[in-house]
Structure 1
Amino acid sequence: MWLSWPAFPVDTMSSLATAIMGLDKEILLTLNSIGGRNQDLWDLANNSLFRGFPLFFSIVALWFSNEQPERRGRMLAGLMAVCLATMLSVWSQFHTAVHMRPILDLAIPLDTVIPRTPWDRTNSFPSDTATLFFSLATVVFVEKRWIGLFCFAWVAVIVAIPRVIMGLHYPSDIIGALVLGPATVFTFAKLPYPKRLFECAFRWLDGRMYIVHALLFIFLAEAFDLFPSLQALGKLFARLLHA
């Protein structure tokens, strides 16, 4: 006996989508009216050291607080997931058209300290910055839940919400990042193969862990400001492939 899912009328789905978009815009304008002209808020939210310190400090502290290969393998698998989730969010902004970035839509009456000039990515779903920081918070959460919860709250208040206030993203962009980032990290944390791969690498590098430490620091230095060098290399390779 076949089970059939209830069919929703096209008009109902369209009305639901319109209602969600309307709510998205309403929340955006409400938050923007509260602090869109607050230069100090934006300076804090856009300061790499201030916004990233709790997360990167926690990751480095957790890394050196326990030398067990299992934990370090799990953390490296999580950081691999951070990179993948961030790449997926950037790819989505370039190749999907969910909605235009609010600050680029001159029909939206935003009051913001950020110049409303053209960007290389007109689409804003999901937020790549929020994806990165929510993913990093998840890496911390997997190892230490209370510290991870603090990192999630920090990212929401310091990184994510101000990006809506300034008109860089809709609230749905942040929700998309909150789903994409943690889901990717949790998946990699549960899968046995990435962890085992790194544990095997640790055994092979026995006595030469300084190599792993050096690579970790290079990764964190790139992640500190949203992988600028990797993004530049990606754009370069894309130009070369289409030349």
Structure 2
Amino acid sequence: MNIFDYSIISFFNQFAQRSVQFDQLVLLISDNVLLKGGFILALFCYAWFKEDSFKIVQRNREYILITILASSVGIVGARLLVLSLPFRLRPLHNPEIALQFPLKRDFLEGWSSFPSDHAILFFTLATGLFFVSRILGSIAIAHAIFVISLPRIYLGLHYPTDILAGALIGIGVALLVNRRKISSRITKLPMRLLDKNPSLFYSCFFVVDFEIAEMFNSLRNIAKVIFSLLSSFT
């Protein structure tokens, strides 16, 4: 492990297991769907329905749509990236790190830590929201840092470089897809569906937002069961 990662992890670790209440608070923040995905998507809902001129509303909704779509694809790409890159033990499981973490040693055992899919998802969302509103984007970036990223370092789930890599990927994806030539083409069909059949649009929009809020855990569980069933027949 490099000195950059170790120095930061060591700094945070000096506060670990000193207060049961504080450790439980960090665990709550790190694991609670409402505080993570629920909060950021509430910001998106506010931005979506915020009243303004027709032209600005349409533009902002294009930014929101492309960001939501990019983050959905990005989280799938993040898992593929994690699986394709060399396996990296999480700090929690690394025997070379003589530190004590609040979590049990078997938590997420066998899951590679690099890069952080949480960082990829939430920095994509935060950067995309910045195109809509600097205030909302700043809140979202602060949320991605203090609610999403730092607790995962404190708990030993990620190295700082895992977070930095994920953040850079997420920011890069959001900057790329929010270029006007790209976003207007990709969002053309969803925006047309919104005009012609808003009931169907918002039904689909809800499902996608719900999956983002819970980090696609429902789809992951369904995929695992399907894969297990298919494997039993081979």
Q: With structure 1 as the length reference, what TM-score do the two structures score?
A: 0.81
Matched, 1:129 2:121: no
Partner-residue secondary structure (3-state), 1:27: helix
The gaps in structure 2 that reach 5 residues or longer are none
Corresponding residue of 2:41: 56
2:174 paired residue number:
185
* Contact 2:9 2:154 (8 Å CA) reproduced: yes
Alpha-carbon distance between aligned partners in 2 of 1:166 and 1:148, rounded to the nearest angstrom:
26
Could you say which residue in structure 1 is the equivalent of 2:102? Answer: 113
Mapping 1:1-243, distance limit 5 Å = 21-35=2-16, 38-65=23-50, 68-97=57-86, 99-117=88-106, 119=108, 121-190=110-179, 192-203=181-192, 206-235=195-224, 240=230, 243=234
Q: Secondary structure at the match of 1:35?
A: coil
CA contact (8 A) 2:190 2:201 kept: no
Q: Deviations over 1:86-124 (max 9, x none)?
A: 222222222211631111213322322211116364320
For 1:39, the aligned partner's letter is: Q
Residues 86 and 181 in structure 1, CA contact (< 8 A), matched pair in contact too: no
Q: Is the 8 A contact 2:115 2:165 kept in 1?
A: yes
Over the residues paired in the alignment, what is the CA RMSD in angstroms? 2.5
Which runs of 5 or more structure 1 residues have no equivalent in the other structure?
1-17
Q: Identity rate of aligned residues, in percent? A: 25
Structure 2 CA distance for partners of 1:109 and 1:44, relative to 1, 3 Å: same
> Structure 1 residues 131 and 36 mapped into 2: Cα distance closer, same or farther (>3 Å)?
farther
State whether residues 104 and 122 of structure 1, in contact with CA within 8 Å, keep that contact through their aligned partners in structure 2: no
Q: 1:106 to 1:163 in 2, by over 3 A?
A: same
Q: Does the aligned pair in 1 maintain the 2:193–2:201 contact within 8 Å?
A: no
Sort the Cα spacing of 1:195 and 1:235 in 2 relative to 1 into closer, same or farther, 3 A. farther
Q: Which deviates more, 168-177 or 61-70?
A: 61-70
AA aligned to 2:8 is: I
> d(CA) in 1 for partners of 2:95 and 2:39?
36
Q: Distance in 2 between matches of 1:241 and 1:142?
A: 45
Secondary structure of 2:195's aligned partner: coil
1:112·1:166 contact (CA, 8 Å) conserved in 2?
yes
Q: Which amino acid aligns with 2:13?
A: N
Residues 238/172 of structure 1: CA separation in 2 closer, same or farther (3 Å cut): farther
After TM superposition, the runs of 4+ consecutive aligned structure 1 residues lying more than 6 A away are: none
Check 1:241–1:181 CA distance in 2 against 1; reply closer, same or farther (3 A cut): farther
